Amino acid sequence: MSHLILIRHGQSEWNLQKRFTGWVDVGLTPQGKLEACKAGELIKELKININFFYTSYQKRAIETLNLILTTIRIKKNNFTKAWELNERHYGALTGLNKDEMKKIYGEKQIHEFRRSWNISPEPLNKNSPYHPLNIKTYENIPKDKIPDTESLKDTYNRVIPYFKKEIYSKCNKNILIVAHGNSLRALCKYLFKLDDIKISDLEIPTGNPLIIDFNEKKEIKSARYLDKDRAKNLIILD
């Protein structure tokens, strides 16, 4: 049996401020750092050897993974970074407060922006300092690959090809992926064959490892959150 461990980064500064973050690079809060360290402790208790580590290009995910690696006593920065694992791009909503946007657009519309399969916010102006074209982290990504906005479907269409090409063949080994709420929702949609409606109900908690067990044929045998007290409803196995 092999294991795939999925972890959403610990609480970020903009999570705390309830701002749409997307591709903007923000760090972890003190709470987020504690979540990352606890995730490391929970993984260490499994007493398994993890063979491959993956994360996005984004600071909050990299910081989370490095804290986990320190906790389980593996050399920091020993991982693969992929922009394809980045968070969904929230377009013109980037940087705005979610509660304030609910007052303007209504709670239903904001819920659709956040949870629906194929609805995208308005594009972000390319002159915005929040646009990935103006963020140094992304200077080596082909410009035609950088989005102005994304739906979950758009996110799925970059996450899953990368997973199939670079990660799935290694699923007979133990793998850890630290990414983001929507890139992990996209991956769960693929792995657990969730339909376009059911995926809207799936929420990924910060800093809580989701361990997926594979049999010898790389078929999913079981899945569970390691921190049961902070586990979200695991609809993927309903």
Catalytic position from the list 35, 63, 87, 150: 87
80 forms bridges with which residues in the sheet? 54
Domain that holds residue 107: 2-237
Average of per-residue pLDDT across 69-97: 91
pTM: 0.94
Instruction: Provide the CB-side half-sphere exposure for 71 (13 A, CA).
Output: 20
Tell whether the model's pLDDT for residue 207 goes beyond 80: yes
Catalytic position from the list 9, 89, 131, 180: 9
Q: Which residues contact 61 (CB under 8 A, 6 or more apart)?
A: 9, 55, 85, 178, 179, 180
Q: What is the pLDDT of residue 234?
A: 65
Total tally of structural domains belonging to the chain: 1
Between the two ends of the chain, the Cα-to-Cα distance in Å is: 22
Structure tokens at 36: 């990352």
131 is annotated as an active-site residue: no
Q: Which residues contact 104 (CB under 8 A, 6 or more apart)?
A: none
The pLDDT confidence band at residue 108, using thresholds 50, 70 and 90, is confident
Q: What is the pLDDT of residue 109?
A: 81
Q: What is the CATH number of the domain that holds 19?
A: 3.40.50.1240
100 is annotated as an active-site residue: no
